[in-house]
Amino acid sequence: MKRDNLDFLIPMFPFCHFSNFSILIINQTDDEYLLTSEFPTVRVINSNEIGLSKSRNLGLKNVTGKIILIADDDVVFFENFQENIIIEYNQNQDFSAICFQTITKKGHLYSKYPKERKKLNSKELRKVLSIELTFKIEDVKKENCLFNEFFGLGGKFQDSETFFFLKRMVHNGCKVIFIPLPIVIHEAFSSSDDASSDRVIYARMAGYCKSHGIFAYFFLFKYMFFLLRKYNLSVPEMKKKFGIGLSGIYDYKLILNKNLDSRYE
């Protein structure tokens, strides 16, 4: 957001110049911070819209190439990441998307990944970071797979945008596989990791309503027990968190009632 030069790309590719790669930057900004590029391989779209999913959907409409990798501006790529991605797609040609691993800056795996390559179930899809996700743009466009703009940072429900994108891919017939191979380095914490924050609770309960309908209330109680065990919250804090979860379910039900979204999962 609000970038006015390309210097942020330099530490992302420490092994070569960033212009060696085909990059599309969606810069959500205003007229004070406009980004331009002098490199033919680095394209820029300055957008006045706000929201992570809106940014990614704008990117999907304007990408070139065959295989797309989503990149945040605070990651560092491994030197051989591009070659490894291409090798895996050549070996798994029936799959529309391949999810990889992230390594923390301390050299550890970002999360507890499956030990072997496999198709991911719904619970495992929820853990996929956007920076681990690659996909064939032709398949995504053919199956009309977009990011749900109600979800994601800057949206109404600020979480789970990658999960619902993958769920939509699977629902529409795209095959998704996980490969236990790291391609990127990131801090050991992401915006979705604070499970006790009001933002995450509100968004996740809305997401449970989207995925499970009336059973979202069951997941709300289950989530409250999880918070109690992990964070040892007081009774007043738990009451507040429960109310926030209820609001997430209620507000998403309003969206469904107005036919603004669909429970395709």
Tokens 């979800």 identify what position? 151
pLDDT score, position 264: 64
pLDDT score, position 10: 97
Q: 3-class DSSP state for residue 97?
A: strand
Q: Which of 196, 217, 194, 192 is nearest to 205 (CA)?
A: 217
Average pLDDT rounded to a whole number, residues 221-226 = 95
Domain of residue 126, CATH code: 3.90.550.10
Q: Considering 186, 220, 241, which residue would you say is the last residue of a domain?
A: 186
* pLDDT over 80 (residue 233): yes
pLDDT score, position 190: 72
pLDDT score, position 194: 84
CB 144 within 8 A of CB 63: no
Domain co-membership, 219 together with 101: no
- Residue 193 within a domain: no
How many structural domains does the chain have?
Answer: 2
- Residue 2 within a domain: no
pLDDT score, position 245: 98
Domain co-membership, 132 together with 244: no
Domain co-membership, 51 together with 133: yes
The overall average pLDDT reported for the chain is 95
Average pLDDT rounded to a whole number, residues 105-110 = 95
Domain co-membership, 180 together with 228: no
Domain co-membership, 127 together with 149: yes
* φ, ψ at 175 (rounded to 5°): -95, 135
Q: Considering 186, 216, 239, which residue would you say is the last residue of a domain?
A: 186
pLDDT score, position 170: 94
Q: Tell me the CA distances in angstroms from 260 to 107, 144, 205, 254, 255, one per residue in order.
A: 43, 17, 18, 9, 5
> Over the stretch 164-210, which tens digit does the pLDDT of each residue have?
999 999 999 999 999 999 999 999 877 667 889 999 999 999 999 99
pLDDT score, position 191: 64
Average pLDDT rounded to a whole number, residues 103-128 = 93
- Residue 263 within a domain: no
Domain containing 143 equals: 7-186
pLDDT score, position 107: 95
- Residue 147 within a domain: yes
* φ, ψ at 147 (rounded to 5°): -75, 140
Q: Considering 158, 186, 214, which residue would you say is the last residue of a domain?
A: 186
Share of the chain above pLDDT 90, in %: 92
Domain co-membership, 146 together with 212: no
What's the whole-model pTM score? 0.94
Comparing 111-115, 124-128, 166-170, 193-197, which segment has the lowest mean pLDDT? 193-197
> Over the stretch 32-83, which tens digit does the pLDDT of each residue have?
999 999 999 999 999 999 999 999 999 999 999 999 999 999 999 999 999 9
Q: Tell me the CA distances in angstroms from 170 to 23, 141, 163, 250, 265, one per residue in order.
A: 26, 14, 11, 26, 9
